[in-house]
């Protein structure tokens, strides 16, 4: 049976799709949104492809092959959010049909938010609407100085509903109230101030800065990095006393793990741990 369009095909162990380009270099998977003519705006197929890729990465065998993901957009802009033409084609949809579309998009954002491995996001040009939402579900975001951000949905009479839990977790209610309500576009420096972006650099060094973060991730224990992602998710919004049993159990497990023991021995023996190539 032919695979469905969004399911992609496998080449040399790496998935391949129409609107999402995937490349592997060692333990790093490079995921590039690939609809540059419309500034990588999401349509139904791109959403399905991102979801299919995210679930393929969550497979246990792949967890140990891939230790970091770099998320980027082809062409002049990272991502212009939802495709206006696709949204227009949904004007005749019933509320139930819109609900089905919205649920697929919500599931895609959640699966990216919960990816087992660290995600480094590279932003040039613009990250608007869902594009800014992609920054919110990434772990480390590096943007070029001239990049413009915005939760512009209200300008179209809609709301940044699906991305709101992820964006609020990153930028907090104060900035979200202002930016969601006005739909204002803002520069990378402001995105950094509110915690959506971690580093703002010139275009000339954007790739080098992304690579530096990749190297930092590869120097961390692979299982420790994955455990950090789960830890942050599990303790988000909990009080210290409520989280105490979870945090104690997580660190106890790491200390007795082969990786935790190797890391500590390597430090004491003044050598590199076995996982750092």
Q: Which of 15, 28, 31, 38 binds ligand COA (CB under 6 A)?
A: 38
The phi and psi torsions of 72 (rounded to 5 degrees) equal: -140, 175
Q: Which of 50, 70, 80, 140 binds ligand COA (CB under 6 A)?
A: 80
- 172 counts as binding ligand COA under rule CB under 6 A: no
- 83 counts as binding ligand COA under rule CB under 6 A: yes
- 162 counts as binding ligand COA under rule CB under 6 A: no
Cα 3 to Cα 38: distance, rounded to the nearest angstrom: 26
Residue by residue, DSSP assigns 168-203 as HHHHHHHHHHHHHHH--EEEHHHHHHTTS-SEEE-G
Total site size for ligand COA, rule CB under 6 A: 17
Q: Which stretch binds ligand COA (CB under 6 A): 20-28, 89-97, 149-157, 224-232?
A: 149-157
Q: Which stretch binds ligand COA (CB under 6 A): 66-74, 80-88, 257-265, 269-277?
A: 80-88
Q: How far is the CB of 90 from ligand COA (least distance, A)?
A: 12
Binding mask 85-124 for ligand COA (x = CB under 6 A): x---------------------------------------
Adjacency order of strands within the sheet including 20-25: 20-25, 28-33, 68-73, 119-123, 140-144, 199-201
Cβ neighbours of residue 257 under 8 Å, at least 6 residues apart? 223
Q: Which of 59, 98, 100, 156 binds ligand COA (CB under 6 A)?
A: 156
Cβ neighbours of residue 217 under 8 Å, at least 6 residues apart? 67, 68, 118, 120, 140, 225
- Helix, strand, coil shares of the chain as percentages rounded to 5? 55, 20, 30
Which residues in this chain contact ligand COA in the complex, by CB under 6 A? 38-39, 41, 76-77, 80-85, 126, 128-129, 152-153, 156
């Amino acid at each position: 049976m032919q695979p469905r369009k969004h399911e992609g095909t496998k080449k040399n162990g790496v998935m391949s799709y129409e609107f999402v380009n995937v490349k592997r270099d060692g333990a790093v998977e490079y995921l590039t949104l690939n609809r540059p003519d419309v500034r990588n705006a999401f349509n139904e197929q791109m959403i399905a492809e991102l979801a299919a890729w995210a679930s393929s990465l969550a497979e246990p065998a792949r967890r140990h092959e891939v230790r970091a993901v770099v998320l980027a957009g082809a062409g002049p802009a990272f991502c212009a959010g939802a495709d206006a033409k696709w949204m227009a084609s949904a004007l005749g949809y019933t509320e139930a049909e819109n609900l089905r579309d919205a649920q697929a998009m919500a599931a895609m954002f959640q699966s990216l938010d919960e990816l087992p491995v660290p995600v480094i996001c590279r932003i040039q040009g613009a990250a608007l609407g869902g594009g800014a939402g992609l920054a919110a579900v990434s772990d480390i975001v590096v943007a070029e100085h001239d990049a413009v951000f915005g939760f512009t949905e209200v300008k179209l009479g809609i709301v940044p509903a699906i991305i709101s839990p992820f964006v609020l977790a990153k930028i907090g209610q104060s900035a979200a109230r202002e930016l969601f309500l006005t739909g204002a576009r803002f520069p990378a420096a402001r995105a950094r101030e509110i915690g959506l972006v971690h580093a703002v650099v010139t275009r000339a060094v954007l790739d080098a800065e992304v690579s530096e973060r990749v190297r930092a991730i590869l120097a961390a224990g692979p299982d420790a990095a994955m455990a950090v992602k789960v830890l942050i998710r599990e303790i988000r919004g909990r009080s210290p006393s409520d989280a105490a049993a979870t945090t104690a159990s997580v660190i106890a497990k790491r200390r007795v793990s082969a990786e935790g023991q190797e890391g500590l021995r390597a430090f004491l023996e003044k050598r590199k741990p076995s996982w750092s190539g």
